[in-house]
Amino acid sequence: MAEVLSASQIASYRDTGYLLLESHLSAQIINNIRDEIARFEDESRSLTESNDRLELEDGHSAEHPRVRRIRLPHKISHVMQDLMYSDHILAPARDLLGPDLRLHTSKLNMKSAENGAAIEWHQDYAFYPHTNDDILAIGVIIDDMRSENGPLMVYPGSHKGPVYDHHVDDVFAGAFTPQEVGLNPKDAVELTGPAGSISLHHGRIVHGSAQNTSSHSRRILFYEMMAADAFPIMGSLTSWDGIEDYNTRMLCGKPTLTPRLKDIPIRIPQPQPDVPVSIYEIQKGLKKSGFE
């Protein structure tokens, strides 16, 4: 018996690999997140380089702070931690993945007005292959997401296809160009919706987002999670500090020591480029943008 999703929403997710739940969160929750973002932007004024909390965009200065990502917001913001453990987030995830869920990571991508960076096309599963692919990301849409401000885009159904090669010159680049693997850009879908909506995308779906050239920011808070019986394959970009630490990442339900194995394509994201662990830096290895 599902908690919040209808049978047709679940069927649609299985078929296309994504869902958008419009106006799922109250204005109060979104305003609280915006206040937290303002606090972190203020904190960034004293920084000249990224640290383990805040990743800075080129051109950042104390007068004009430009943060492109808040790292692990659930660890540094009670507002974003409380939301992560709430049924607003976990009930739809349980409807799709089952009762036992483990956090992979959280991040808040800020695509600032005028020049917020593109995220090149990729599959999350290429970064962190696991023993099965009951893996998804929930995106909390903080600003109205429109065609013009670099919305999240997906290739519907691509979660059932190959795991594409995300390497360039034999080094993991965390991205590929859809045209080069036979995907037709016309098939990509924009996930647009008002602030307070949430997106859910499958760990294997091909997705990305173009540069924001509009005068409106586009900020999304992501919680990425998996069924507790999906274990990282060695070489996966999953932090591993022993089973006790791993189990502190349980979001709900029970951990297990029995991984579930599914016969799915796997590509190990190694060797890694010699850059900071950041999708923006890793993807600089791609020679040609998929958004040109």
Among 84, 168, 279, 282, binds ligand AKG (CB under 6 A): 279
Among 175, 220, 228, 251, binds ligand AKG (CB under 6 A): 220
What is the Cα–Cα distance from 52 to 277, expressed in whole angstroms? 11
Footprint of ligand AKG on 94-113 (CB under 6 A): 109
Does residue 226 touch ligand AKG according to CB under 6 A? no
Taking residues 117 to 146 in sequence order and writing x for each that binds ligand AKG by CB under 6 A, - otherwise, the string is: --x----x----------------------
What phi, psi does 165 have (nearest 5°)?
-75, 115
Footprint of ligand AKG on 29-48 (CB under 6 A): none
What is the Cα–Cα distance from 65 to 57, expressed in whole angstroms? 9
Footprint of ligand AKG on 48-77 (CB under 6 A): none
Rounded least distance, CB 207 to ligand AKG, Å: 6
Does residue 152 touch ligand AKG according to CB under 6 A? yes
What phi, psi does 203 have (nearest 5°)?
-60, -20
What is the Cα–Cα distance from 28 to 34, expressed in whole angstroms? 10
Rounded least distance, CB 23 to ligand AKG, Å: 20
* Residue 49, number of CB atoms within 10 A of its CB: 9
**H-type helices in the chain, by residue range?**
7-16, 27-44, 73-76, 78-85, 87-97, 124-127, 243-247, 279-282
Q: Which residues bind ligand AKG (CB under 6 A)?
A: 109, 119, 124, 152, 207, 209, 220, 279
